[in-house]
Amino acid sequence: MDLKTLKEIEEEHLQKVLEKTGWNIEKASHLLKISVSQVKRKIRTHGLTPPESS
């Protein structure tokens, strides 16, 4: 059984929410029910970066 850590699950969920909102941090914070500063901190903690725009 391959279990993920809570940190891994959080990172994956945050990535999905950011993709769904087009990396709109305010919308993501609303969906996640956490503050904008918490979303920004989690982005830094997990080392997430927005996709390159073409």
* pLDDT tens string 1-54: 799 999 999 999 999 999 999 999 999 999 999 999 999 999 999 999 998 865
Domains and their CATH numbers in the chain = 6-46 (1.10.10)
Cα–Cα–Cα angle for 42, 3, 51, rounded to 5 degrees? 40
Alpha-carbon span 7 to 45, nearest angstrom: 10
**What SS3 class is residue 36?**
helix
Instruction: Name the token pair of 32.
Output: 């996640």
Which residues contact residue 54 at a Cβ distance below 8 angstroms, ignoring those fewer than 6 apart? Answer: none
Per-residue pLDDT at 52: 83
Q: Read off the pTM.
A: 0.89
